[in-house]
Structures are given as structure tokens and as C-alpha cells.
Amino acid sequence: MPTLPEATRRMATVTPINHPAPPAGIVLAGGLSSRMGRDKALLPWHGRTLLEHMRGLLRHAGAQRTWVSGAYPAFAGIPDRVARCGPLGGLYSVAMAMPDGPAWVVAVDMPRLTPTLLRRLHAAHRGGCTALAGHPLPMLLDIDPPCRTLLAAMLADPDGPRSLQALQQRLGARRLPLAPGDEACLFNCNTPGQWQEIAS
């Protein structure tokens, strides 16, 4: 049996486990909000704007840094590099500005989303893209050179699909089954009627 000093020395030589850094957070907020008739990101939600709420949600889930797509100077928002390309264009613009690493991607109009659900995506993530079955957002996406190249190629193709679903399909996204109660958390609001429903 090794002496106590010998055991201590052996323990000291064990390589520590390197836990991966927590994901960053991306809020897609630069849409036209044409069906809503007003900027969804600035709608009031429990004393804050939706944009403030969603940034806070990402931080509560564990995001060390959050990024915002769209021209919101107060939030260091990143304007679209390519105009009128929807969420895919907003994601591309942020991806070109941020460092490599995994990132939670959420829409600004999903205020019932929970940190628990985001952490579930993180726990199941094995690289590439992880999302929930039947829902493009939220997702956990590895922002890296292959991802940026794919985003740029999709935006450069005038005849190809420019949707988050198409991006996820090309990345071979891992889909997690929905748990009871998930659907209520994934409700998003695009019209005044939907906003009244979710805000009531």
C-alpha cells in the first residue's frame, strides 16, 4: 500500500476533467414584424421588453455572452449583412461577428421558453446542431467555419431554401423528443391576436 505522501503525489498527477465552456446565446430579433404591425422585440413583457427578457433568459440558462441580431444599438445589435433574408440572414450576421463555439439560438418572440429546456438541449448536444422535434427554435448550434460557410452558401443561392429548417437538415440536426409541457413553452407570437393570448 502506498504511503500517504505517495498517494497524494499520484492524485496530483491525475489530469483534471476539462468541462466545456457554456454556450453563448443568440437572440434573433431583426425581423420585419409585418404581421404584428410593430416591433416585436420592443413589446412589453412583465416590466421589460421581449428582447430584454430573452437575453435574461439566456443568461439564466448559463450563457456567458449574448448576441442580438438586428439594429438595436442599445443591445449592441448586429444589423443584417444581407437584407430581407429572415432568421437565416440574422443568424449569419451574428455568426460572422462572434467567436467559434456552441450557441443557443432563440427567437425574440418566445417568452415562455424556460432555462430548463435550453439546458436540456445542452445536455444532449453532441456537436453540429441540436433542436426539438417539429420546432426549428430553440436550437443549440456550433458556430464554426463549416457552419459559416454553409450559411453563406445558402444565402448566396437565389433559388435555394433560406430557412432555419433547411439549415438544420443540411447539418443533420439531432432532434430531441418533446417532453410533456414543452409545447406551451414553445409558443411564439406573430400577430396581435397571438400576442394578446400569450400576454393575458
What is the average per-residue pLDDT within 90-102?
Answer: 98
**Residues above pLDDT 70, as percent of the chain:** 87
- Please state, rounded to an integer, the average pLDDT across all residues of the chain: 88
- CATH fold, domain 21-199, is Spore Coat Polysaccharide Biosynthesis Protein SpsA; Chain A (3.90.550)
> What pLDDT shows up at residue 194?
84
pLDDT for the residue numbered 34: 62
Rounded to whole angstroms, the Cα distance separating 76 from 27 reads: 12
Q: Which among 135, 150, 151, 145 has a CA at the least distance from the CA of 184? A: 135
**What's the CA gap between 131 and 25, in Å, rounded?**
15
Other beta carbons within 10 Å of 104: 29
CA distance 69 to 124: 26
pLDDT for 10 equals 39
Query: pLDDT value at position 12?
Result: 37
Domain spans of the chain? 21-199
Query: How far apart are the C-alpha atoms of 158 and 146, rounded to whole Å?
Result: 20
Q: How many angstroms separate the CA atoms of 46 and 36, rounded? A: 19
pLDDT value of position 32: 62
Q: What is the pLDDT of residue 95?
A: 98
What pLDDT does residue 2 have?
A: 44
Residue 5 has pLDDT above 60, yes or no: no
Between residues 18 and 190, the one the model is more confident about: 190
Confidence class for position 89, pLDDT limits 50, 70, 90: very high
pLDDT in tens, 28-64: 997 666 667 678 999 999 999 999 999 999 999 999 9
